[in-house]
């Protein structure tokens, strides 16, 4: 995949949201390892791991990373301007950012429900809305959204998260149809349980149960996600759109 990533370097900038940790940070690391420095990373709270990553490649993180709130349209405008100032050619948008809380449906507050739906579904929509015009003007581009296995299976104590991630599936399919005539592909990755990200908030005994339920009997590795994303934003994926890629160890 290294040569492919070098090819991607010439297409334009790759925008990664949710780069402050977990899956997003791993995707940024994968691209940097493979020689692609044309990435722009969003984070909600300053993350030293993200800044150390760029510094390890002799890159100034302040030139590549920006802290913005993705449910705030004014912040997203700043995000777009930051990205386009660095490179006015936007090739790909990778919408990783998301959040969750725990609670049984009848105990969830309206505030909790709105927070999770906004952090996942609304943020994905607003980012896509902001960057699509640039891709349309160029007549090409790639969008990769992040959903979850729980959008298809459900899970106890997170109906708001299930609903938000299911919404991303619908958003992906609708966008794919709208943008196909501009050579812009839109796909989604539906994650199972991985060794980074929200899993860190899951009690150890529950992690063991999730591994037991997964046919491959392990958590996924974030590099496996990065390699899939690398393909989905490549030139060679131009006929692949509106698809949901399940990467979950056979969980369902």
Q: What is the pLDDT of residue 2?
A: 47
Q: What is the CATH number of the domain that holds 117?
A: 3.40.50.720
User: How is residue 246 written in tokens?
Assistant: 């399940």
In a domain, 79, yes or no: yes
| Per-run averaged pLDDT (10 residues), the chain, 252 residues | 53 94 93 95 90 97 96 97 92 96 95 97 98 96 97 94 98 98 98 75 73 82 94 97 95 78
Alpha helices in the chain (DSSP H): 2-9, 22-33, 48-55, 61-64, 73-86, 110-117, 123-138, 150-153, 159-179, 204-213, 222-232
pTM comes to 0.93
Question: Do the beta carbons of residue 225 and residue 27 sit within 8 Å?
Answer: yes
The predicted structure's pLDDT at residue 197: 64
Return the active site residues. 161
User: What pLDDT was estimated at residue 198?
Assistant: 61
Task: Please tell me the predicted confidence (pLDDT) of residue 219.
Answer: 86
The C-alpha atoms of residue 98 and residue 197 are separated, in whole angstroms, by 10
Asked if residue 252 belongs to a domain, the reply is no
What are the tens digits of pLDDT across the range 197-229? 666 666 777 777 787 888 888 888 899 999 999
Q: Considering the domain boundaries, does residue 179 fall inside one?
A: yes
Range of the domain at 193: 2-247
Could you tell me if residue 89 is inside a domain?
A: yes
Indicate whether 90 belongs to any domain. yes
Instruction: Evaluate whether 182 touches 139 at the Cβ level (below 8 Å).
Output: yes
Q: Encode pLDDT of 164-199 as tens digits.
A: 999 999 999 999 999 999 999 999 999 998 877 666
- On whether residue 158 sits in a domain, the answer given is yes
Nearest partner of 161 among 171, 152, 170, judged by Cα? 152
In 3D space, the residue among 115, 87, 90, 120 whose CA is nearest the CA of residue 103 turns out to be 115
Number of domains within the chain: 1
């Amino acid at each position: 995949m290294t040569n492919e990533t070098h090819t991607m370097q010439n297409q334009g900038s790759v925008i990664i949201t949710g780069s402050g940790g977990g899956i997003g940070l791993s995707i940024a690391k994968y691209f940097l390892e493979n020689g692609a420095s044309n990435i722009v990373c969003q984070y909600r709270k300053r993350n030293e791991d993200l800044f150390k990553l760029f510094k390890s490649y002799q890159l100034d993180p302040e030139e590549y990373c920006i802290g913005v709130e993705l449910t705030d349209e004014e912040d997203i405008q700043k995000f777009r301007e930051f990205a386009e100032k660095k490179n006015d050619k936007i090739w790909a948008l990778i919408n990783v950012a998301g959040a969750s809380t725990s609670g049984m449906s009848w105990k969830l507050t309206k505030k909790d429900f709105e927070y999770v739906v906004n952090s996942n579904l609304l943020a994905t929509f607003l980012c896509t809305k902001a960057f699509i015009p640039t891709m349309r003007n160029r007549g090409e581009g790639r969008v990769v959204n992040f959903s979850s296995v729980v959008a298809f299976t459900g899970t106890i104590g997170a109906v708001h998260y299930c609903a938000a991630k299911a919404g991303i599936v619908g958003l992906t399919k609708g966008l794919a149809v709208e943008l196909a005539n501009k050579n812009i592909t839109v796909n989604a990755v539906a994650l199972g349980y991985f060794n980074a990200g929200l899993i860190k908030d899951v009690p150890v005994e529950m992690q063991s149960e999730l591994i037991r339920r997964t046919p491959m009997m392990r958590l996924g590795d974030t590099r496996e996600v990065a390699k899939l994303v690398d393909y989905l934003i490549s030139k060679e994926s131009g006929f692949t759109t509106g698809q949901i890629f399940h990467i979950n160890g056979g969980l369902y």
